[in-house]
Amino acid sequence: MYQLAPNIELLFTEAGAYEDRVRAAAAVGFTAVEIWGPTGVDAPAKPKDLPALKAALQETGVQLTAQLSEPRTQFMIPPWDHSAFYQKLDEGVAIAQELGCPRIVVGSGTGFGGWKRQVQLDKLVEIYRKAIAQIDGSGITLVLEAVNGRVDHPGSLLDRTAEAAYIARGVDSPFFGILYDLYHMTVEGEDEATELAGAGDTVKYVQIADAPGRGEPGTGAIDWANALRILRASGYDGPIGLEYYPTTESAASTALIRDLAAQA
């Protein structure tokens, strides 16, 4: 049985404030949730009351499984000043520890036309080795997400599972791995079984949405029973983030994937 973590940026918004979304998720049986940026610095229209969020997590016993690194960083675009990333990383780690969140999601930003792709991938290895050294002893794991460049993130440097795994192996730390997002990689045309056969050992978090459309499982073309079987066969047994745009009421939108996850 997989633990499912609704993304409360997108789900249970009917409840209002983030802390009330936690309570709404708990009320229908979820034991975990995930969020995007913990302070909303990249989305100032969605500020978060962190003390209230912490109180709701503690009150309900719900686990916060993942949060994003803030701010979103362009690593490859000149002038290559990464000081804000490293400074905010410490702040993000402190927030994650306060909220009991074990993972911070990081990315690649867009690619730079002036360098070969391999050079940029190797630069990411250097950047994340430094990041892991900086937060050593924190207990927080960084998970690197590859995203699709065809629909949602045009120009993203990292849009392949194998390349995310290459970086994870280059960083070579038990506190660094990849976030495998089945929606993004399906949009990119990848085959789940093939990619996880080669990169499954680097996967430390998973997110899902159906494709096409990025709605809840059952609204697109993915065979979800088979997708979960492949995921299980790859060795992954951690939580799965539900990062989709619901086409119906939040709790109802989770019915299919909850049923399948209980059997997986």
Q: Find all residues with CB under 8 Å of 116, minimum gap 6, and list them.
A: none
Residue/partner pairs of 90-97 with CB below 8 Å, 24 or more apart: 90/134, 90/135, 92/38, 92/67, 93/135, 93/138, 93/140, 95/38, 95/39, 95/50, 95/67, 96/38, 96/67, 96/140, 97/138, 97/139, 97/140
Q: How many CB atoms lie within 10 A of CB 42?
A: 13
Reported in sequence order, the residue ranges of the chain that DSSP labels E, i.e. its strands, are 4-6, 32-33, 63-64, 67-68, 103-106, 141-145, 176-181, 203-208, 240-242
Integer-rounded Cα Rg, in Å, for the chain is 18
Q: Which residue has the tokens 């792709």?
A: 117
Residue 235: name the closest of 207, 204, 194 by CA.
204
C-alpha 180/C-alpha 184 separation (Å) is 9
Measured in whole angstroms, the distance separating CA 253 from the mean position of its chain's CA atoms is 20
C-alpha 205/C-alpha 248 separation (Å) is 26
Residue 213 · residue 151 · CB < 8 Å: no
Tell me which residues are annotated as active site: 145, 243
